[in-house]
Amino acid sequence: MRATAPILVATHELCGGHEPPPGHPERPERLRAAIAGAAVAGAEALPVPLDEAAVLAALARVHAPGFAGRLQRACEHPPGIFNSEDNPISRGTYSAALAAAASAIAAAGAAAASAAATVWVPVRPPGHHALRDRAMGFCFFNNAAVAAEELLARGCGPVAIVDFDVHHGNGTQAHFWERDDVYVLSLHRYPFFPGTGAGDEVGAGKGRGFTRNFPLASGAGDEIYGEALAAGLDELAAVFEPSSWVVSAGFDAHRQDPLGGMNVSDEGFGTIGRLLRDAAGKSPLVAVLEGGYDPKALQRSVRTFITGVAGSVGP
């Protein structure tokens, strides 16, 4: 008989403190929806300590020296933008971004300690567009890259990163571009913001072959997403044996999303979750929230995804 895997939820109340101007799609309601969507049987809250020095040390594995400090200083004099017109800041933006990274670190620590097979990280601002020294696309710190580096530092490598946000995770790809200890698999709308993620982008140096992009046409729905993910996971398994998994879980490919232009249903995200759990097997999986800008659709999609990815592991 198979036992239901434990599910931990890692988030922090300060993630709600990032307050873009009215009408901006990356708004605090998203956080509440993503947390509510994870209210499934067996889910338990994971305490997230906010030790700024420890978080900054972890961020230094991913971001340039002084980058976090520049954001902190900018947020002392809001409103304004940081690096990009897509990245408005408020007085609480730095604390929110720091708390999001802290949640990813706590999740990776719990996964490394085998405290849970699945850790859901509903945080904001999102992260997968954040580059080493530049914020963009609503993202400030790259939470998925931070989680992957934490897993590696704790001896849980190699790591597979799977990104199914409607936008290509250019920041994550760039960080691991020349690495062979992390495999980055992404399925996304293309051509689309941020303009990266073509099929011929495969990594460089010793990382060549450890990046795989599946660019999808506008309007892709459940069947196309399921087929692309299944094919990508098969390719990954043929060349890579991950000990742990990080998922950039963006839900802006939902048919009701105002930004995505795709046609994935609530149930489609459940299928994505099941495919990921089947691929991960007994390995721990940390799923970090990226996009998803219709709060009601986001809540439903998170619920089906978490149910799918939690799945069952073990005898």
Q: How many domains does the chain have?
A: 1
Q: Give 119's strand partners.
A: 8, 286
Which residue among the candidates 18, 63, 128, 129 is catalytic per the annotation?
A: 129
Active site residue 18: no
Which amino acid, one-letter code, is at 200?
Answer: D
The pLDDT tens digits of the residues spanning 8-60 come to 999 999 999 999 999 999 999 999 999 999 998 789 999 999 999 999 999 99
Which amino acid, one-letter code, is at 34?
Answer: A
Question: Which pTM value belongs to this model?
Answer: 0.96
The pLDDT tens digits of the residues spanning 152-184 come to 999 999 999 999 999 999 999 999 999 999 999
Domain at 138, CATH number? 3.40.800.20
Residue 13's domain comprises: 3-313
Count the residues in the chain. 315
Angle in degrees, 0-180, between the axes of helices 93-112 and 67-74, rounded to the nearest 10: 140
Helix (H) or strand (E) run with residue 28 in it: none
The pLDDT tens digits of the residues spanning 245-258 come to 999 999 999 999 99
The helix/strand count (H/E) of the chain reads as 9, 12
Within 8 A by CB and 6+ apart from 307, the residues are 40, 270, 273
Using alpha carbons only, what angle is made at residue 36 by residues 55 and 151, rounded to the nearest 5 degrees? 30
Measured between its terminal Cα atoms, the distance across the chain in Å is 6
Is the pLDDT reported for residue 2 higher than 50? no
